[in-house]
Amino acid sequence: MAASQAGGGWLLELPDEVLRQVFKLCSHHELCALAQVCVAWHRYLRTHQGVWRSMAAATWGPLGSRVRGAQRWDKVFRAQYEVEKRWRRGDASQRLLSRPPSKKRSTRVTGVALHGLTVLATASSDASVLQISLDDGEVVNTFVGHSKAVTGFDMAASELITASADKTVRVWDMTSGLVRSVFAPTRKPLTCVSAHGERVAGGTKDGLVHIWRRVERSAAQPEYSTHALSGPISSVLMASSRMVVAGTANGELSLYTCADALACPIRSFYTVPEEGAPVTTIRYSKYHARLVVGSGAGVVALYHPSSAEPESVLAAHSAKVVGLQCNALRLVTWSDDATVAIWDWRETRKPASVFSLDYPVTSAAFDDRHATLVIAGCGHAAIDVFDFRAASDSVDTAALLSANTLGDFT
């Protein structure tokens, strides 16, 4: 046998299309081992970056979509692989992001979200939303206009949508901080809001869900309204431009479709395992086609949209699940029991890692592009920032990846 054949060089004589299909079947560890077989294989895997790009797409979904410039995908993949290991171990550096003092601003932060390298935060007794820099804690923007506390907010494209106890929904320009739209007051205070595409859904204390068109400057009447549910709306999700899911404080969970001038119910079902436990939060993972519902009983239920029965129930926390966030890679849940749990979608029998804090968690958010988790809580005067990138990382994936490579969360 020739020396090249003994070393495995014969494999490289196969057509490129065949080789790519062969290497797609290999795991990360197998590719690294193959690169050490001989110089020819090492050179091939170094120069054919499409192999690593395909593996990134297969492993992390939208991560494999695009990269800035002529970067090496093997370096991007390996850097992200190390970040993934730290996510699973809960290995992160921690720092405090102090919020600017305010006489009106309480220490209870009711909502946080990540928008690039900034944090959006609102406090319980404050009628505004602050946009704070993750780097130095400076206020980048202040969204002021509501006359009472902001009860919920969501983001769509370059806009911020807020709901308030003053019974209005406002749509803001994220760059200028100016109001683009104000939707007419509802009969009762709004408790939550969700946006998708051109539509915004808001839930109220009288059990109604109203749906407006986000692109309108103002609206005296909502485009759609649901029949009243049996209790106050505690969570709402605009799952698509025509599909809305609403949960109530007494455990009712309903799925609606927008038709004609009314949002017509498709089905109603209860959260589990305790009937009547409040529905605290609702999200939809488009990557796994699952409806994810948090409960006041401390569990998270996973539903297939076509089924009224839960597919599985995650024993997440010992107290109420306050909120959750999910994307293609992981599910993060937080609770009144002062913990934040990080779940791997490939293994949901138990959390991959759990952060125990010294305060009840009121809100949290994560951003895979910057490998960052932010947590806010009751009585906590600052926002905790956890960074899962090691200081010794040779590749900064945030600098390499484009702004939308990891996809949005839903």
Q: Where are the domains of the chain?
A: 3-89, 94-400
Query: Mean pLDDT over residues 175-203, rounded?
Result: 91
pLDDT, tens only, 129-171: 989 998 888 888 999 999 999 999 999 888 999 999 999 999 9
pLDDT confidence of 331, banded at 50, 70, 90? very high
- Options 1.10.8.60, 2.130.10.10, 2.60.40.10, 3.90.1150.10; CATH for 94-400 is 2.130.10.10
The tokens describing 8, both together, are 């495995």
Q: Shortest CA distance to 121 belongs to which of 410, 362, 367?
A: 362
Q: How far apart are CA 98 and CA 110, in angstroms?
A: 15
Whether omega before 273 lies within 30 degrees of 0, making that bond cis, reads yes
Strand partners of residue 321:
335
Tell me if 212 sits within 8 A of 199, measured CB to CB: yes
CATH fold group of domain 3-89? Monooxygenase (1.20.1280)
CA 210 to chain centre: 23
Cα–Cα distance between 311 and 218 in angstroms, integer? 40
pLDDT of 3: 40
Cβ 311 vs Cβ 303: under 8 Å: yes
Cα-based distances in Å from 189 to 24, 71, 120, 205: 53, 50, 22, 6
Q: Output the pTM of the full model.
A: 0.81
- pLDDT, one tens digit per residue, over 372-383 is 999 988 767 678
Token pair for 150 = 């902001």
Query: Cα(193)–Cα(203) distance, rounded to whole angstroms?
Result: 6
Instruction: Tell me how far apart the alpha carbons of residues 196 and 186 are, in angstroms, rounded to a whole number.
Output: 20
Question: Is the distance from CB of 299 to CB of 320 less than 8 angstroms?
Answer: no
Residue in 355, 290, 281 with CA at minimum distance from that of residue 321: 281
Summary mean pLDDT of the chain: 80
Number of neighbours of residue 32 by Cβ within 10 angstroms: 14
Q: Which range among 72-81, 269-278, 283-292 has the greatest average pLDDT?
A: 283-292
338: nearest Cα among 315, 327, 322, 349 = 322
Q: Are 359 and 341 in contact (CB under 8 A)?
A: no
Task: Categorize the per-residue pLDDT at 403 as very low, low, confident or very high, splitting at 50, 70 and 90.
Answer: very low
Strand-strand pairing, 179-183 and 218-219 = parallel
**Tokens 């921690």 appear where?**
94
Residue that the structure tokens 């609770």 belong to:
335
**Predicted pLDDT of residue 299:** 93
Name the amino acid, one letter, at 178: L
The structure tokens listed for 196 are 């998708």
- Contact at 8 Å (CB) between 180 and 174? no
pLDDT in tens, 47-103: 777 777 777 776 666 554 445 544 677 777 777 778 888 888 888 998 888 765 555
